């Protein structure tokens, strides 16, 4: 039952993912969550995020942000990293995932999703048929509703690791 929430890969950080290897495997598009995946919740794009997206664009990746947040927050971040975006994405619903792939001219066979929350980011990507990469949250300070979900996520992660899933980047 919990398998529906398991990520395809679990990494310590977005910034430790070997995106070059994914490009070599044929992936051409990446959908990202923003808050606590790329920067702490509510923070603007920092030098590390800007450098990552310069590298991804240089490799040839199409990149897009999917955020449940409002447009002013998402637009500001995306302008800084030169990415398209969908705000109020209603994750874990699949509509925004599918729309993102369509806008980038990609499909489930060549698209990755990277996010920090199991019950929104990863579950939505799995329902949409996209290879999902879960990353540890960047910062422990989060809104109360996310803190409560993190407690439930702990059970999913424990089951994932118990049944052969691995955390990479240790």
DSSP codes of every residue in 91-119: TTSSHHHHHHHHHHT--TTSEEEEES-II
Architecture of domain 2-165: 3-Layer(aba) Sandwich (3.40)
Q: Over pLDDT 90: what percentage of the chain?
A: 73
Interval 70-112: pLDDT, tens: 999 999 999 999 999 999 999 999 999 999 999 999 999 999 9
pLDDT beneath 50, residues of the chain: 170
Neighbours of 90 (CB within 10 A): 13
Where do the structural domains in the chain lie, given as residue ranges? 2-165
- Buried-state track 38-60, b at ≥16 Cβ within 10 A, e below 16: bbebebebeeebeebbeebeeee
């Amino acid at each position: 039952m919990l398998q529906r929430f398991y990520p395809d890969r679990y990494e310590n950080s977005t910034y430790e993912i070997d995106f070059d290897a994914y490009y070599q495997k044929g992936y051409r598009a990446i959908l990202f969550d923003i808050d606590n995946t790329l920067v702490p919740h509510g923070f603007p794009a920092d030098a590390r995020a800007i450098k990552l997206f310069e590298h991804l664009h240089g490799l040839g990746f199409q990149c897009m942000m999917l955020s449940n947040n409002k447009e002013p927050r998402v637009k500001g971040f995306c302008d800084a990293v030169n990415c398209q975006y969908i705000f109020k994405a209603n994750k874990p619903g699949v509509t925004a995932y599918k729309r993102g792939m369509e806008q980038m001219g990609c499909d489930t066979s060549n698209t990755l999703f990277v996010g920090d929350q199991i019950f929104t980011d990863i579950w939505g990507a799995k329902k949409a048929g996209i290879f999902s990469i879960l990353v540890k949250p960047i910062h422990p300070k989060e809104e109360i509703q996310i803190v409560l979900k993190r407690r439930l996520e702990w059970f999913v992660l424990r089951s994932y690791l118990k049944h052969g899933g691995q955390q990479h980047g240790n």
